Structure 1
């Protein structure tokens, strides 16, 4: 569009510019319409974060759990059979007691590991983290927990847990933690940087804090 250097009779009659302040096509309103956090249209939208390899990890952990529990059962049966070889009225010898004790300890250890892998396999199949305008919903093997944004102090990506081993967790304002089974990973990946989903959660938490309670 050519803008005349001066206004005069030769430029035609003067016309008033349109009042764009009453139009929904202004730049500010267009930006507001594109930004869900300003319009409130994302109040009902929920985004879910799932384990990176849920099917593969669930199958592998279930197989390991079955193998460990089966081996523990064999150890228990072996212990019972060895004790059955002791004649009635006689106490088992020292060597037999050592073998029975070793088999019992092995059965206990394998049983605990089998239960652990079973819980983690179930958690991998069900685990997810749902992101909404009100906060996060952390779904685990058995139950879920809803956490409001204002209760979250930080998101930790290297948390050592007795069941989940290496995982991520929410650190709350009161100092407690909520483990997120969706981010369970092998212990040998401890030194690796956090994944894209963890970074996305931290970015979302930072954005919510910057927006303030009134604009969430």
Structure 2
């Protein structure tokens, strides 16, 4: 019976091997940080040849991006934002879940390392925008667009600006390690942002 390493020697990805590599990558970057992570360390811990990793992920940044996406979103495309009819509660629930994810020390360290790498690596930044940022922004715009359609937001609101007004403060507080990154702080952010965006609605 072939081992996981042997099964992945062709061009086609073996799902079990891929999952093991990404899980190991996340563990290594959470433990050692992005700067100290190497393909060799990941390969050794995952029990695969480093050539297998390089064949599937050409750079360390691409590997860590996939590992973070896998841990955060799981396989497949991001799911839609909740729509219970209560816009404030729906957005608050999404941001509270984000805060809880940020509070996980392993995820926090992995994401901070990836964020720093994105700043320095334009290609990695482009991949991040295409694979995570823009798909998520579209889900957020879609939820706000539905709110416009039922009169919860002013019809003239620029939805891209609205996304920034609602979600960017949480990212800024996380970046700055602010102490007010709490569910109560998130609720206040959403409440004040929506108060301004409601306008004549």
Q: Which one has a larger percent helix, Structure 1 or Structure 2?
A: 2
Q: What TM-score, normalized by structure 2, do the two folds share?
A: 0.24
Highest RCO, 1 vs 2 (Cα 8 Å, sep ≥ 6): 2
Q: Which one has a larger percent strand, Structure 1 or Structure 2?
A: 1
**Greater gyration radius:** 1
